[in-house]
Amino acid sequence: MRRLTFTLLLVMVALVSRAVTVHCEPGKLGLLLTSNNVTELTITGKMDARDFRTLADRLRGLSVLNLHGVEVLAYDSDEALFSNVYRFRAHEIPTLSLADMPQLTRLTLPWQVTSLGEGAVAACTSLTEVTLPKNLTYLGKYSFVGCTALKTIALPAMLVEIGEGAFAQCTSLTKVTLQNADITPNGENSSPYQQASCHLTTVGKAAFAGCKKLTSITLGNQLKTIGDAAFAGTKLSNANLSSLTELTQVGDWAYAQTPITTAQLPNQTELGRGAFVLNKSLASINIPFVLDNVPPLLLAGSDKVAEVDLSRIYVDSIGDYAFYNLNQVQQLTIPITTKYVGTRTMAGMTGLQQITTYAQSVPDLGEAVWQGVEQANVVLMTPNNSVDYYNSAEQWREFNVQSNIIPGDVNGDGIVDIADLNAVINYMLGKVIGTFIFEAGDLNHNWVIDIADVNAVINLMLGHSMNAPNFTPDTGDALVIDNFGINTSEHHTIDIRLDDCRDYTAMQCIIHLPDGLKVVEGGILSGLRAPSHSVVSQSDGNEVAIVLYANPNVNLGDNHDDPILQLTVTATDVLPPQATLLADHVTMVTADGDSYHAPATTALVSRTSGVDQVSSSTDRVYGANGSLYIVAQQAGKAQLVALNGMTRTLRVEPGNNAYHNIDPGIYIVRLNSISHKVKL
């Protein structure tokens, strides 16, 4: 008898826990369920809000629910079925309809569903696996809030918006990905994800707030808005948003109290109050150009940040506590447009060594702006005509007030060169890259950067070039000038080429002519490789400072055999039988404003008779694939010099010579009295 009773119990348990499949018609699910103890349920057919009400009321013990094959129909009710909702839309999981199902572990939603109502799957504390439909475009407010067992979620590519608090307090969630969508699935078990673009534009307020294990999230490149506190309290370690070219808003507290180490933001993005507050691991962040005001508490307490660059931003105010306790920052710039610096904005910035302000009128201040800072030990650099005003203003006068803005030095590197000219042209055309000191560029003091300032910078630069100190080359790119011969009273056009591996927009150099050689009037022109460029020059004895630039900035041409410059020279009786032409102080700049210093270049200048001509040397020295190559016209020896001073003599044969097993590094190769710089 006992054995029979035990057997019946086993049969009953098996019947209760078996997988049940029903084909539903709208409002009929209750009639199809013969037991309220079903734990695994698959539904096909059509459902409306009444059937979801049946699920909520009768099947509280469900652990697996598969609605993949269901079509959800609209329904208008005479009474509130969920919360205070009476009307239910087609293709939407109704508000709160699957919420608080404590045993539910796996959920597959209908493949035609396009939205989830508010709190649709909230507080399902055992839910570990969710399959979302490919057509889903909207996750309603609090859709999955409090699903504390959910570890990963794959969001479909068609998803446009993640609503407020959609995954808030999903405390086990570690990873969120965006999947790609395909055509309508052919069967119940087919994958709803294949190739397509992502459409997500909005991450709502507090969407992932409190997801304290969330370390990875993929957002897609169409994102426009990150709402207030969207990722607050997560474990995200990176906020590299630089590829999100549509992103216009990062809300208040968006990344507050997260362990992100770097934040890279598009330049068009507005930042909310405290967007990166109390990020104790944050070491690097860029401030977008678009900001009208630095919001309050922006970086407060993120005390590993070592640099805050406001030099390219024209903000009216810097908000209260914006940089509170950023004690690693040593230098800070206050833009020319700034009118107000808020209460305790820079309090606790004990590492400050220098503040540079370009504001002509002294900005108003909140209370205790620099509380805790030893202001007397901090240099305050001000505009030339504003020193007295800062020296007499409350709080400002506590600094060591100075002024030494160098006219023309718009990038603030202490010299006036081609990089400054490049920056002035870009600024004039509405393109600001890197540091730009407006007062240093506005040389005619008309509050506008225009062509007059371009010309003024050129003049300053040419004058500076004549007295410029030597610098250490930092690129293997170099000018190429062939040896040549010239008779007395003859004219010779020198082709100056550029052997380069980067795209350069402009170049400056000094040509040192030997005694007896001079440039003819109008003899300095741009070459075939620089058809859109202009040349300006200034002579001082045998030295000619040359600037090659374009307005607007465009790259030099691609054909390295074409010259970038042509110099037409003439010789006098003073020219010795063999002399040397030298090109040094060679600086080249890219469109992004990066400048590079090239090694000096020499060319032999020989006298020729009316019959005999001296052919140009075609010796070549270059590095490739870790080896050194010398193409020589005649046998001889070359000297290989490393930067640490170690030398090595190389035997050179006519034609191609290859030298392997040389340690990587930068070397000077001396061949036939000419130095070549190579990188191996």
The model's pLDDT over 3-21, given as tens digits with 9 standing for 90+, comes to: 434 333 333 444 445 789 9
pLDDT score for 468: 60
Give the CATH number for residue 306: 3.80.10.10
Q: Is 41 contained in some domain? A: yes
pLDDT (mean) for 469-482 = 81
Could you tell me which of 677, 673, 478, 481 has the C-alpha nearest to residue 578? 673
Residues 384, 244 within the same domain? yes
The model's pLDDT over 251-268, given as tens digits with 9 standing for 90+, comes to: 999 999 999 999 999 989
Could you tell me which of 511, 512, 521, 520 has the C-alpha nearest to residue 491? 520
pLDDT score for 208: 98
- The size of the chain, in residues, is 680
Q: Is 634 contained in some domain? A: yes
Least confident stretch, 88-92, 118-122, 142-146, 671-675: 671-675
Contact 228, 205 (CB under 8 A): yes
Rounded distance between C-alpha atoms, residue 89 and residue 94, angstroms: 8
Could you tell me which of 457, 432, 452 has the C-alpha nearest to residue 335? 432
pLDDT score for 440: 83
Rounded distance between C-alpha atoms, residue 274 and residue 257, angstroms: 10
Residue at a domain's end among 607, 638, 658: 607
Rounded distance between C-alpha atoms, residue 256 and residue 354, angstroms: 28
- Percent above pLDDT 90 for the chain: 55
Residues 285, 387 within the same domain? yes
Residue at a domain's end among 580, 607, 634: 607
Within a 13 Å sphere around the CA of 620, how many CA atoms are in the beta-carbon half?
Answer: 11
Residues 632, 549 within the same domain? no
Q: Is 301 contained in some domain? A: yes
Partners of 624 in the beta sheet?
A: 627
The model's pLDDT over 278-323, given as tens digits with 9 standing for 90+, comes to: 999 999 999 998 899 999 999 999 999 999 988 778 899 999 999 9
Least confident stretch, 66-80, 148-162, 321-335, 496-510: 496-510
Q: In angstroms, what CA-CA distances link 659 with 51, 67, 291, 539, 674? A: 81, 70, 55, 42, 19
Local structure of 425: helix, strand or coil:
helix
Residues 544, 589 within the same domain? yes
Q: In angstroms, what CA-CA distances link 152 with 102, 170, 289, 343? A: 18, 10, 35, 42
Contact 194, 136 (CB under 8 A): no
Q: Which helix (H) or strand (E) holds 13?
A: helix 2-17
Residues 173, 108 within the same domain? yes
Could you tell me which of 234, 283, 240 has the C-alpha nearest to residue 254? 234
- Percent above pLDDT 70 for the chain: 91
> Is 248's pLDDT higher than 80?
yes
> Average pLDDT of the chain?
87
Label residue 188 by pLDDT band (50, 70, 90): very low
Bond from prior residue into 531 cis (ω within 30 degrees of 0)? no
Residues 639, 585 within the same domain? no
DSSP 104: -
pLDDT score for 639: 80
Rounded distance between C-alpha atoms, residue 423 and residue 589, angstroms: 10
pLDDT score for 11: 38
Rounded distance between C-alpha atoms, residue 479 and residue 584, angstroms: 9
Residues 637, 579 within the same domain? no
Q: Is 385 contained in some domain? A: yes
> Is 422's pLDDT higher than 50?
yes
Q: Does residue 565 or residue 12 have the better pLDDT?
A: 565
Q: Is 198 contained in some domain? A: no
Rounded distance between C-alpha atoms, residue 67 and residue 29, angstroms: 13
Q: Is 199 contained in some domain? A: no
φ, ψ of residue 454 to 5 degrees: the values are -60, -50
Helices 451-466 and 418-428, packing angle to 10 deg: 180
pLDDT score for 39: 95
Cβ neighbours of 648 (radius 10 Å): 12
Domain count, the chain: 4
Rounded distance between C-alpha atoms, residue 350 and residue 373, angstroms: 5
Residues 586, 625 within the same domain? no
pLDDT score for 51: 97
pLDDT (mean) for 546-562 = 90
Residues 315, 339 within the same domain? yes
Contact 110, 71 (CB under 8 A): yes
> Is 389's pLDDT higher than 50?
yes
Q: Token digits for 434? A: 């890197």
Contact 610, 522 (CB under 8 A): no
φ, ψ of residue 10 to 5 degrees: the values are -60, -40
Domain range for residue 526? 478-607
Residue at a domain's end among 387, 404, 421: 404
> Is 57's pLDDT higher than 50?
yes
Residues 397, 314 within the same domain? yes
**E strands, 257-366, in order:** 262-264, 270-271, 284-285, 293-294, 317-318, 331-334, 340-341, 354-357, 364-365
Q: Is 8 contained in some domain? A: no
Label residue 618 by pLDDT band (50, 70, 90): low
175-198 residues labelled b (16+ CB within 10 A) or e (exposed): ebebbebeeebeeeeeebbeeeeb
pTM: 0.63
Determine the Cα angle at 654 with ends 652 and 655, to 5°. Answer: 105
Could you tell me which of 507, 506, 675 has the C-alpha nearest to residue 599? 675
Residues 392, 297 within the same domain? yes
pLDDT score for 12: 42
The model's pLDDT over 196-237, given as tens digits with 9 standing for 90+, comes to: 468 999 999 999 999 999 999 988 889 999 999 999 999 999
Least confident stretch, 111-115, 190-194, 431-435, 473-477: 190-194
Cβ neighbours of 497 (radius 10 Å): 20
- 């099947």: which residue's tokens? 59
Residues 590, 631 within the same domain? no
Q: Is 210 contained in some domain? A: no
The model's pLDDT over 481-497, given as tens digits with 9 standing for 90+, comes to: 988 888 888 899 999 99
Contact 142, 163 (CB under 8 A): yes
The model's pLDDT over 346-381, given as tens digits with 9 standing for 90+, comes to: 999 999 999 989 888 999 999 999 999 999 999 998
